[in-house]
Amino acid sequence: MSRPGRGKSWSGHGLPYLSEKRLPGHLIAIEGTDGVGRSTQIDLLRPWLELEGYAVSNTGWTRSPLLSETINEAKAGHQLTVTTFSLLYAADFADRLEHEILPALQAGFIVIADRYMYTAFARNMVMGADPGWTRDVFGVALVPDLVIYLDIDVATLIPRVVQGKGMDHWESGMHLALGTDLFDSFQRYQSRLIDEYRRLASEFGFITVDARAPIEELQTQLRSHIMNYLRNADPARSGGNGEEKLPASTRKE
């Protein structure tokens, strides 16, 4: 397996046809279930990182120009199997990986990914797809430098979703026929999903933050985790505030 530059690695076989390029940027993934507040937090992170002097690029699940319409159409049809869906999501992911994420990392950007392959791992586990297969399919992915998981319990999640955009067919797992009504199904599906995210958090070493905290407080926590990571990864960039652990002579790039 090839190593795509400083500290980075592929999840599986990667993309063998790409020539070896340096990826000096940073890939930060924000994971967490629907309605947990990912996009609110990401919207607040971007201007802050830009003020800190970083170029920032965002990417989000199902947002690829190649696949997003097809995915929406497929969802409207409610008739795909877990396998077909997973492959659609993987195609969306690969499109964004090659056209957004990797070029931005090459140019030294911080890429903030709203959901990453772990969302597919969690959902597929709950929906009964072979977990080994899901990981093989996403073997093309670059492993993020930092994954922050916004953790929440179902009881806190429910009022947020109801007051927000409401419960939708897919996020309630209605396709799994877990319960007779939307509320019941939402509750069961989301608790299984959250259990799965928590398991993945320990397997893959996510940084878990408590998403029940108020928005500002959560944002402060996210910033401190990101700053911490950037300081270690990029000592040259994070000016001399006396907290640097590495001596200046270890600077390489």
Partner 1 sequence: MLLERWLRSRGYPVIFTEWNSSRLVRRSMSRGKKKNLLTPTTFSLLHAVDFADRLTYQILPPLQAGMIVLADRYAFTAFARDVARGVHPEWVRAVYSFALRPDLTLYFRVPIEVSLERLLAGRAKLKYHEAGMDVGLSTDPVESFRIFQSRVLEIYDELTREFGLRTIDATGEIPEQQRMFRNIVQDVLRDYDSNRAKGNHVTTRSR
Which parts of this chain interact with partner 1 (CB under 8 A)? 12-17, 65-67, 69-70, 73-74, 80-81, 83-84, 87-88, 90-91, 94-95, 98-99, 130, 133, 136-137, 139-140
> Least distance from C-beta 246 to partner 1, angstroms?
36
The answer to whether residues 150 and 211 touch, using CB atoms and an 8 Å cutoff, is yes
> Least distance from C-beta 252 to partner 1, angstroms?
30
Cβ proximity to partner 1, 6 vs 13, nearer residue: 13
87 Cβ contact list (under 8 Å, min separation 6): 137
From the number of C-beta atoms within 10 Å of its C-beta (0-12, 13-18, 19+), residue 37 rates as buried
Q: Which residues is 112 bridged to in the sheet? A: 28, 58
| Paired tokens of 160 | 């947020």
Cβ proximity to partner 1, 16 vs 239, nearer residue: 16
| Paired tokens of 240 | 């001399």
**Which of 6, 4, 15 has its CA nearest to residue 140?**
15
Helix axes 182-204, 117-127, angle to 10 degrees: 130
Q: Rounded CA gap, 144 and 29, in Å?
A: 6
Cβ proximity to partner 1, 1 vs 162, nearer residue: 1
> Least distance from C-beta 131 to partner 1, angstroms?
13
CA quadruple 59, 161, 152, 126: dihedral sign: negative
> Least distance from C-beta 134 to partner 1, angstroms?
10
Cβ proximity to partner 1, 102 vs 148, nearer residue: 102
Cβ proximity to partner 1, 65 vs 205, nearer residue: 65
> Least distance from C-beta 184 to partner 1, angstroms?
28
| Residue at 114: amino acid letter | D
The answer to whether residues 207 and 149 touch, using CB atoms and an 8 Å cutoff, is yes
Cβ proximity to partner 1, 88 vs 213, nearer residue: 88
Cβ proximity to partner 1, 19 vs 163, nearer residue: 19
- Residue 141, Ramachandran bin (φ over 0: left; ψ between -120 and 50: alpha; else beta): beta
> Least distance from C-beta 12 to partner 1, angstroms?
7
> Least distance from C-beta 54 to partner 1, angstroms?
27
**∠66-75-149 over CA atoms, to 5°?**
80
| Paired tokens of 218 | 């959560």
